[in-house]
Amino acid sequence: MDYATRQGYLAALGAVLIWSGFILVSRMGGISPLLSYDVIAIRYTTCALLILPIWWFKFRFNLWQPKLIVCSVVGGLGYALFAFKGFESTPASQSAVLLPGLIPVMIILLSVIINKQSHPWAKWLGVGIITSGISILFWQEFKLEGELAIGHLSLLAAAFCWGILSVLLSRWQITPWQATAGIAMLTCVIYMPVYLLWLPKNISLAQLPQLWDDVFLQSFYQGFMATIVQMLLYVRAVQLIGAANMGTMMAIVPVLAGVSALALFDEPLKLSLAIAMLMVSIGVWFANTSYFSKAE
């Protein structure tokens, strides 16, 4: 393995670790005194403030493009509202299966519907395995509760929003920098007035000293690590080892985040969860691999 390839896989591993940590930190925010609306405000305010000087002084472009606004509403605001609402009520071990598993399924399905894109059989096999694994988890929860929890449905909706975003980014040829900077700042501009004026919140200047640890953790991880650092590592990995190999590395996330959640939050390991975790990881690997089929 040459130096560039080794660097590529190290960047990919860093992106995978941050994505896994995102699920755990988001669940911490979900069970903290902070509301999901608070976490979204912290995430996009921090990210926007960090990106603003880079955009202003170095890599400025027109933010108010209709395509970027649509991406921000769907992939920034829509994704965040559904994802963080899901993290409030869904165990982290289940979130680790649902979100990383449903996102590639949505991307593949929506790329066919919207972009009329064809996919090799390996991707459809991956979709089938992921869907089967998640169905087992959903069926078990349905038997226990009589209905699917709002958290599960919220994560499903979040994956749909991210799938729409991914397909639109590809269709409109939006660069990683435009996507990162545009979504961060536009989402902040759109969301913060609504949040400050009308949405419920559990954070104020008076409460800040008691909530400082939670606010700092969410600010650092959501606004810096999970947005800026992860994007840089992801793009670097794609440049050095290719999109398919980077996508294949993402198969580690359900098991890594799921097992970590079991230990960190003392969540029970059910047979249905273990089967779903394994099947989703295998399915994500197939959905992103190029070893068994010709390039599209």
pLDDT of amino acid 295: 39
- pLDDT beyond 50 at 250: yes
- Please tell me the distance from the alpha carbon of residue 23 to that of residue 243, in angstroms, as a whole number: 22
Query: Is 277 within 8 Å of 258 (Cβ atoms)?
Result: yes
The residue that leads in pLDDT, 59 or 148, is 59
When pLDDT is averaged across residues 30-35 and rounded to a whole number, the result is: 94
Question: Residues 64-79: pLDDT tens digits?
Answer: 999 999 999 999 999 9
Q: How confident is the model at residue 294 (pLDDT cuts 50, 70, 90)?
A: very low
pLDDT of amino acid 296: 39
- Please tell me the distance from the alpha carbon of residue 281 to that of residue 288, in angstroms, as a whole number: 11
Residue 162 neighbours by CB under 8 Å, 6+ apart: 75, 79, 103, 106, 107
- Please tell me the distance from the alpha carbon of residue 101 to that of residue 114, in angstroms, as a whole number: 20
Residue 58 neighbours by CB under 8 Å, 6+ apart: none
By CB atoms closer than 10 A (0-12, 13-18, 19+), residue 102 is: buried
The residue that leads in pLDDT, 107 or 37, is 37
The upper half-sphere exposure of residue 292, i.e. CA atoms within 13 Å in the direction of its Cβ, equals: 14
Q: What's the predicted TM-score (pTM) here?
A: 0.91
Q: Where are the domains of the chain?
A: 3-288
Question: Residues 186-245: pLDDT tens digits?
Answer: 999 999 999 999 999 998 766 777 889 999 999 999 999 998 898 888 878 878 887 677
Category of 242 on φ-ψ map: left (φ > 0), alpha (ψ -120 to 50) or beta: left
- Please tell me the distance from the alpha carbon of residue 275 to that of residue 254, in angstroms, as a whole number: 11
